[in-house]
Amino acid sequence: MASIGVIGSGTWGTALAVLLAEKGCSVTIWSAIHEEVVSLTESRRHPNLPEAVISDKIGITEDMEEAMKEKDLLVMAVPSIYVRQTAARMRPWCRQGQIVVNVAKGIEEDSLRTLSQVIEDELPMADVAVLSGPSHAEEVSRGLPTTCVAGAHSRETAEFVQDVFMNQVFRVYSSPDILGIELGAALKNVIALAAGIADGLGYGDNTKAALITRGIAEIARLGTAMGGAFQTFCGLTGIGDLIVTCASMHSRNRRAGILIGQGKTMEEAMEEVHMVVEGVYSAKAALALGKKYHQSLPIIEQVNQVLFEGKSPKEAVNDLMLRDKRVEIQDVFW
């Protein structure tokens, strides 16, 4: 079986490490935090995954070389804001052709680059792939049926990643559309903040359905303008990931949005969630990409105004509802 290094000991990295170890892979988890390494090693539990047991066969280390040396595959599972600095830290031990699978979701705010592009900047010798989809770590760690998509530059790499991760409860599809996969994964977090805000305001299922539906329209509009495939946004990493993130209390983006809708500031909401809220970091980048590619993103625009300009959530909803009349589908004619 494959030898795998998981770079990052958050809930998603840990859940995937447990999944891979149960398949018989040799797995090592890396963390940058000494206290976290000690805690995970001694307790064999992650505090945010109470039902998951970290097998004694899984190594846990703060030594990057140990986590990377002679590995068939590396899983990049650090929060999006730490991807560049972590990839740079990995450079001395990354060999030519090393497969690095990014499972984080986000867009780098300053460069507007996707996370796989950021990793390729720092690790040009690597063969960078992605794994994404509607996949809460809490459910994967419990062995609940889940489906994801592996994207890569070559069919060979995508199918290798597919084979490594896939089992009877974790089904993996393959795709060449790395860009579309990553854009869907990142932009849905911004829409999930909007869905949470609506929940916090006390709005109902009609509002949630409208945000999901018009949200995927914004994601697909921007994503295809950037070169992603329209079909990707109709699939697991588009509408699939958007549905689960907007509807579930496992979603830290939705939970943060609920708190904002109830009157808390963005900073207060992030502190209360106690986890990285990726949508906050992707919101500005999403808006900048919309301007760069000349695409209208009204929901994302209102989320930015609520997060960073002090606009009241109720006013943001009113402005969305009272925009000028539109047709729903542009390419269907009378």
Residues facing 130 on adjacent strands: 102, 151
Q: Phi/psi of residue 101, each to 5°?
A: -105, 110
Catalytic residue numbers?
188
Rounded distance between C-alpha atoms, residue 67 and residue 160, angstroms: 20
Burial of 42 (0-12, 13-18, 19+ CB in 10 A): exposed
Best CA proximity match to 218, nearest among 292, 298, 280, 278: 298
Rounded distance between C-alpha atoms, residue 32 and residue 76, angstroms: 13
Sheet holding 3-7, edge to edge: 59-61, 26-30, 3-7, 73-76, 99-102, 127-132, 146-151, 170-175
DSSP codes joined into one string, 118-160: HHHHH-TTSEEEEEESS--HHHHTTT--EEEEEE-SSHHHHHH
The residue to which tokens 């047709």 are assigned = 327
Q: Looking at the chain, how many residues does it have?
A: 334
